[in-house]
Amino acid sequence: MSKPLKQIHLAAHFPGVNNTTVWSDPAAGSHIEFSSFAHFARTAERARFDFLFLAEGLRLREQGGKIYDLDVVGRPDTFTVLAALAAVTDHLGLTGTINSTFNEPYEVARQFASLDHLSGGRAAWNVVTSWDAFTGENFRRGGFLPQDERYSRAKEFLATTHELFDSWHGDEILADQASGTFLSDAKAGAFVHQGQHFDIEGRFNVPRSPQGRPVIFQAGDSDEGREFAASGADAIFSRYATLKEGQEFYTDVKSRLAKYGRGHDQLKILPAASFVLGDTDAEAEELAREVRRRQVSGATAIKHLEFVWNRDLSSYDPEGPLPDIDPDLGEHHIARGRAQVRMYRDPLAVAREWRERAAANNWSIRDLVIETGNRQNFVGSPATVAKTINDYVQADASDGFILVPHITPGGLDGFADKVVPLLQEQGVFRTEYEGPTLRDHLGLAHPDAVAEERAAS
């Protein structure tokens, strides 16, 4: 008996501050004006995507002691844009990254509960942590958090917000005009939390929202990060959008669910993926090469090399060979505020490997960065891309993908018009939304229903 076809989950990431975005393209629009976000969100909803995803920035990136100026710089506030997008969409999930280090549980919980009310149950939170004093310089708390406390604070932060969400059960607002009883419970919203990071008590002031709690997303690739996601997240963002790596990650993370009493489908695995479409596969390949050249200018290539070398390499020619000096292994100071920096855990080994690959292929610095840098996951005609995505999902490399176009706000239009209909024809992607909430789209239970099942079993 053959396995039933999995339904694909698709989402869209509004790209921002990294060199994926080809801002120099004549078709590129604003990354700040609301009309750009509205266009992008409407396209995603027209294509019946599960959700739109927005990242967050809390300090402008710097390189060599100066604000980084080669990529898109600047973004709007995540919560505020998502709330406004709820006004121009009816079904699309609204997912935002919100840092648990430079916020407090009471405020974040009331913002997410408010967003869930204001969107009719479409809010999702990508929980991330930060520990760096560099970002902390913009906040009251400063940069206090030792790296080994990242997940302990994040876990307690998340648990505390759940206590706040759950402090209202959903039946307290009677609003009975005849009897004059507004609340059925004089202690609605009461909470007490005493822990290592938070010691708070009182009354939460947002009544229970349509989804009960926002959908929880988590990103993070370390063993701790995977475990954190398996223990309680509804979806995980992964970096592994290739078949083999994706399958390994998928198997590993899904295997962790059982020990938390969770089913295989209770955690969706959604890698970010870029795509380039052409009328034919050959045309798409040609276009993809052009996009890669535009994403990595000579100056950008040097800056990328500096992440690994942790040195000023501005005297090197991007069209020349790689530097023969070794990376500076001291504290990373060349690039600050950049997430990619953490990807290179062993700079000496990376530098050695890159030098060998460049020499073997006769690559310049720029060629090397193009070849090792941004992956283009799906390149081809609409039919090829639709087939590849479906093959990956059916082969358990993921439950779907978060698509990142290289142009905003129109970069999703072609995918919506040409690829989505093919997936729908194959019966692996919805033609209409299953329900009004993001939990409905993702096939996730309402948290109250989960509690009831547990109580009954």
Partner 1 sequence: MSPSPSLHLAVALDGTGWHPASWREPVSRPQDLFTAGHWAGLVAEAERGLLDFVTFEDGLGLQSSHLLEPDDRTDQVRGRLDAVLLAARIAPLTRHIGFVPTVVATHTEPFHISKAIATLDYVSTGRAGLRVQITARSNEAAHFGRRTIPRIEAFDSPDAQELVTDLFDEAADYVEAVRRLWDSWEDDAEIRDVTTGRFIDRDKLHYIDFEGGHFSVKGPSITPRPPQGQPVVSALAHRTVPYRLVARQADIGYVTPHDAGQARAIVAEIRAEQEAAGRAAEPVHVFGDLVVFLDDDPAEAAARRDRLDTLAGEEYRSDARIFTGTPAQLADLLEELRAAGLTGFRLRPAVHGHDLPAITRGLVPELQRRDAFRRTYEADTLRGLLGLTRPASRYATA
Judged by CB under 8 A, the chain residues 29 through 68 that form the site for partner 1 are: 32-34, 38, 57-60, 66-67
Report helix, strand or coil for 428: coil
326 binding partner 1? (CB under 8 A): no
Q: From the list 149, 152, 173, 245, which residue makes contact with partner 1 (rule: CB under 8 A)?
A: 173
Sign of CA dihedral 406, 412, 414, 419: positive
86 binding partner 1? (CB under 8 A): yes
Q: Which residue's CB is nearer to partner 1, number 77 or number 356? A: 77
DSSP H helices in 323-363: 347-361
Whole-number minimum distance, CB 46 to partner 1, in Å?
Answer: 18
Residue (of 298, 365, 352) closest to 325 by Cα position: 352
23 binding partner 1? (CB under 8 A): yes
CA 82 to chain centre: 14
Q: From the list 207, 373, 436, 443, which residue makes contact with partner 1 (rule: CB under 8 A)?
A: 207
Report helix, strand or coil for 150: helix
DSSP H helices in 272-346: 281-295, 298-309
Question: Of residues 356-375, which lie at the interface with partner 1 (CB under 8 A)?
Answer: none
Question: Of residues 124-143, which lie at the interface with partner 1 (CB under 8 A)?
Answer: 137-141
Q: From the list 12, 54, 55, 83, which residue makes contact with partner 1 (rule: CB under 8 A)?
A: 83
Q: Which residue's CB is nearer to partner 1, number 8 or number 115? A: 115
Question: Of residues 227-246, which lie at the interface with partner 1 (CB under 8 A)?
Answer: none
Q: Which residue's CB is nearer to partner 1, number 204 or number 307? A: 204
Q: Using CB under 8 A, which of the segments 173-181, 339-347, 422-430, 441-449 binds partner 1?
A: 173-181
Q: From the list 1, 65, 199, 362, which residue makes contact with partner 1 (rule: CB under 8 A)?
A: 199
CA separation, residue 102 to residues 22, 142, 333 (Å): 31, 8, 22
77 binding partner 1? (CB under 8 A): yes
Q: Which residue's CB is nearer to partner 1, number 72 or number 368? A: 72
Enter the tokens of residue 241: 């959008």
Q: From the list 186, 360, 455, 456, which residue makes contact with partner 1 (rule: CB under 8 A)?
A: 186
Whole-number minimum distance, CB 303 to partner 1, in Å?
Answer: 10
Residue (of 212, 171, 159, 169) closest to 190 by Cα position: 169
Enter the tokens of residue 348: 């000496």
Question: Of residues 246-305, which lie at the interface with partner 1 (CB under 8 A)?
Answer: 297, 299-300
Q: From the list 2, 24, 147, 315, which residue makes contact with partner 1 (rule: CB under 8 A)?
A: 24
Whole-number minimum distance, CB 451 to partner 1, in Å?
Answer: 22
Q: Which residue's CB is nearer to partner 1, number 131 or number 198? A: 198
Going by C-beta distance under 8 Å and a sequence separation of 6 or more, which residues neighbour residue 327? Answer: 308, 309, 310, 311, 347, 348, 350, 351
Give long-range contacts, CB 8 A cutoff, 24+ apart: 149-154: 149/197, 150/101, 151/224, 151/225, 151/228, 152/196, 152/197, 153/100, 153/101, 153/129, 153/197, 154/100, 154/101, 154/127, 154/128, 154/129, 154/228
206 binding partner 1? (CB under 8 A): yes
Answer yes or no: are the C-beta atoms of 30 and 36 closer than 8 Å: yes
Q: From the list 131, 151, 198, 344, which residue makes contact with partner 1 (rule: CB under 8 A)?
A: 198
